[in-house]
Structure 1
Amino acid sequence: MKLYTYYRSTSSYRVRIALALKGLSVQAVPINLLKGQQRQPDYLALNPQGRVPMLELDSGERLLQSPAIIEYLEECYPTPTLLVGDPLQRARARGVAALIGCDVHPLHNVSVLNRLREGGASDTQVAEWISHWISQGLAAVESMIGDQGYCLGALPGLADVYLIPQVYAAERFNVSLAAYPRIARVAALAAQHPAFIQAHPSRQVDTP
């Protein structure tokens, strides 16, 4: 399999974590978003949306959007599972994932920030926008996760796959995590876990 990825993309990061947790090897194909490689005709021919991540299977089929890719991996490679527990616990994990993937991450996506700047927003206003939405999202996640272990248990799962890249984004945008001790606990555990270490942006081939 090939993963078209960008080292700093949080959606790519979460797919890398899922792959690493499942012990799956892929060939990383770096797509440099800052250089506009996602808009080049050869990439658009593969992915008409012109974004990352994209997972190309050994069959040549290509999967877009991190939730769909992660669901595919969970269905085809169910061990170890990313969705542990009973239906209620699995629903809680999906809730954390959706909150981050649908309500937080899109609002600090580079295309959104560029649109704000095109509309006349200053750097200070853009920074305030980012801080507001990330802080609001993390406050909600803080109330949704447990007091021990990873987000929802002793082992990492879907919620952690989404949370850790969002923590990375918060730190990159200088959003304080001081108000979120549960999230800080999960981040500290993940920092020692081989799969999260392997997937970290600093370990990617296209890291500047």
Structure 2
Amino acid sequence: SDPQRPSDHVDSAPAPRERNGAGGADVAQPRLGLVGYLRFFWRQLTSMRTALFLLMLLALAAIPGSLVPQRTADPNGVVQYKSDHPALYPVLDKLQVFDTYTSVWFSAIYLLLFVSLIGCIVPRTKHHWQALRTRPPKTPVRLGRLAGFQSVPVDATSVGTAANGADVATGLPTVDHAVTRAMAILKRSGYRVERFGDSVTAHRVTPRD
């Protein structure tokens, strides 16, 4: 070691030992167990990627049903295919190609797809339903700090008389009238509105929420 360097210098530290190598200590991996493997399998099965893969696989598995005759739709064609291809027929029959849509492998694919779609849709449906029922957020105290903040002045000519919500002394709209009118406009635009005192907040649920 260099005597000019302190003992705690980064270059003076001993090299780390190699793990899982010759002379190194093995890393103890946690055991998942049966429940852990089942949870991992369920997460993989109910992912959107797996659902899309099973959907594509189901489309590919349906191709033999359009290339060879099926017993349920064309039994005479199956008999004719057997006489025309005596060597190939036993192999295809053992693979249930002549009963493609009722075969074990085709049924397994669409059953897995059905379970995968349920696992994908149900949790997301619950999430979107909760988002639809969630109250809009409370109005910020300092609206001027928001990026899209705008202030629109209102004069007396835009309101009219006191019967339309104008203050008798100033001729300007009252706070209650302005908030009520804003809520009506936002509701017509498809927003969910909530009133907090002298302010109104609105929220529109989008597909990404």
Give the TM-score taking structure 1 as reference length: 0.20
Greater RCO, CA 8 A, separation 6+: 1
Larger radius of gyration: 2
